[in-house]
Amino acid sequence: MPSPTTSALLALFSLAVYASAQTYSTCNPTINTTCSSDAGLSSSTYSVDFTTGSDDTNWNTTSGNISYTSSGAEFTITQQGDSPTIQTTWYFFFGTLEVHIRAAPGIGIVSSIVLESDDLDEIDWEFLGGNSASVETNYFGKGNTTSYDRAVYYAVDDNQSTSHNYTVDWTTESITWYIDGVSTRTLAYEDALNGANFPQTPMRIQLGIWAGGDPELNAEGTVEWAGGDVNYDDGPFTMYVESVKVTNFNPAKSYTYGDQAGDYSSIELGNNTVSASASGNVQTGIGNADNGDTNGTVANASSTANASGTVVAQTTATSGFTVSSGGYSLIWGSSATLMVQGLRGAACGLNAEA
């Protein structure tokens, strides 16, 4: 039985800052007002069984190669520089994440399950290959990597030889980490610097393996935290992910930061997506949008095309189109009036329904 072992709190806190905390986001909404919305998981549940193959609709490989076998998704490090990683193509906003994983062995090898938001909120499970008997739980809020008592290690009964159920239950009030159904750690909102360090913005799931113990790739503290120097000759080192299950408490097609605070209360949920099947009047060549023009021409075109995007507004205009300040959003005038975000140079149909 896995047991909560507060005694397993290692004297590594000063090093925990070197753990997986991401320090980079392609667009951080707390420092940038022009970030685009996140694609959301619009269903309330999602699950995948990687022992039956990959799921390229919901996952994107961001580094390396992953093989899918009857053992699951295999993430292997064979040589320096390998760090195979996949991440979801969508974000979810509070809920549960259940991952069945068999961590990789190998001193200095880190297997990880990471939830990461655009403003660098993070919830982690990390498995150090040199320590088959424990798993680290960790969290970060808004990229604050100041290290105190965030990383906590728990015992896992067996280890790299069998997979275990690592589940995170993430609500506005608390985060609970479960190992094989046993609650091991709970972080209350107020205990994370009165919420300031509490992960609370839409998260993407990242699964990957990396060589934290390669001194040529990492700082000394990271290598120490990872358990020491990697010896690639002992490899290959493989992490197996059998399955992933997500419950999204706030299903929506898009999540938008309403301001720069990074608070959950400011996240706007969007759900209106159109699939505009073009027929009849078709607007083509809307490149004017790039120039910030506020009007364009509507012409009948013989070609047909489908366009899809997020409806962000509607208008009663019956002709012409207006281009919103974003440059990519069109207000289409017709019997059905749509403002479609994310389209450029594509053809829009007039018969679409919002």
Active-site choice (122, 136, 224, 242): 122
Q: Which x/- pattern over 145-164 shows residues binding ligand NAG (rule: CB under 6 A)?
A: -x-x--------xxx-x---
Told to check if 249 binds ligand NAG by CB under 6 A, we report no
| Binding residue for ligand NAG, selected from 8, 10, 107, 133, defined by CB under 6 A | 133
- For ligand NAG, the binding residues in 86-115 under the rule CB under 6 A are 89, 98
- For ligand NAG, the binding residues in 296-315 under the rule CB under 6 A are 300, 304-306
User: With DSSP H G I counted as helix, E B as strand and the rest as coil, what are the percentages for the chain, rounded to 5?
Assistant: 10, 40, 50
Q: Which x/- pattern over 12-51 shows residues binding ligand NAG (rule: CB under 6 A)?
A: ---------------x---xx-xx------x-x-------
Tokens standing for 317?
């205009």
- For ligand NAG, the binding residues in 183-222 under the rule CB under 6 A are 193, 196-197
Which residue is listed with tokens 């720069």? 260
112 vs 254, beta carbon nearer ligand NAG: 254
Shortest distance, CB of residue 238 to ligand NAG, whole angstroms? 14
C-alpha distance from residue 56 to each of 14, 53, 88, 194, 265 (Å): 38, 10, 9, 39, 32
Shortest distance, CB of residue 38 to ligand NAG, whole angstroms? 11
Among the candidate windows 17-25, 59-67, 113-121, 217-225, which touches ligand NAG by CB under 6 A?
A: 59-67
| Binding residue for ligand NAG, selected from 48, 252, 274, 343, defined by CB under 6 A | 252
| Dihedral pair phi/psi, residue 290, rounded to 5° | -65, -30
Told to check if 57 binds ligand NAG by CB under 6 A, we report no
Helix or strand or coil: residue 290? helix
Active site residue 122: yes
Contact 167, 97 (CB under 8 A): yes
| Binding residue for ligand NAG, selected from 8, 269, 301, 336, defined by CB under 6 A | 269
69 vs 306, beta carbon nearer ligand NAG: 306
Told to check if 227 binds ligand NAG by CB under 6 A, we report no
Tokens standing for 105?
């062995």
Active-site choice (74, 126, 224, 242): 126
Told to check if 85 binds ligand NAG by CB under 6 A, we report no
Shortest distance, CB of residue 19 to ligand NAG, whole angstroms? 14
Tokens standing for 37?
């919305």
Told to check if 294 binds ligand NAG by CB under 6 A, we report yes
E strand or H helix at 222: helix 220-225
Smallest CA-to-CA distance from 84 within 66, 100, 67, 68 is with 66
Active site residue 216: no
Told to check if 277 binds ligand NAG by CB under 6 A, we report yes
Helix or strand or coil: residue 158? coil
Report the alpha-carbon distance of residue 70 to residue 190 in Å, rounded. Answer: 43
**Number of chain residues interacting with ligand NAG (CB under 6 A):** 44
| Binding residue for ligand NAG, selected from 20, 167, 184, 334, defined by CB under 6 A | 167
List of residues contacting ligand NAG (CB under 6 A)? 27, 31-32, 34-35, 42, 44, 60, 62, 64-65, 89, 98, 132-133, 144, 146, 148, 157-159, 161, 165, 167, 178, 181, 193, 196-197, 251-252, 269, 271, 277, 280-281, 294-295, 300, 304-306, 319-320
Give the catalytic positions in this structure: 122, 126
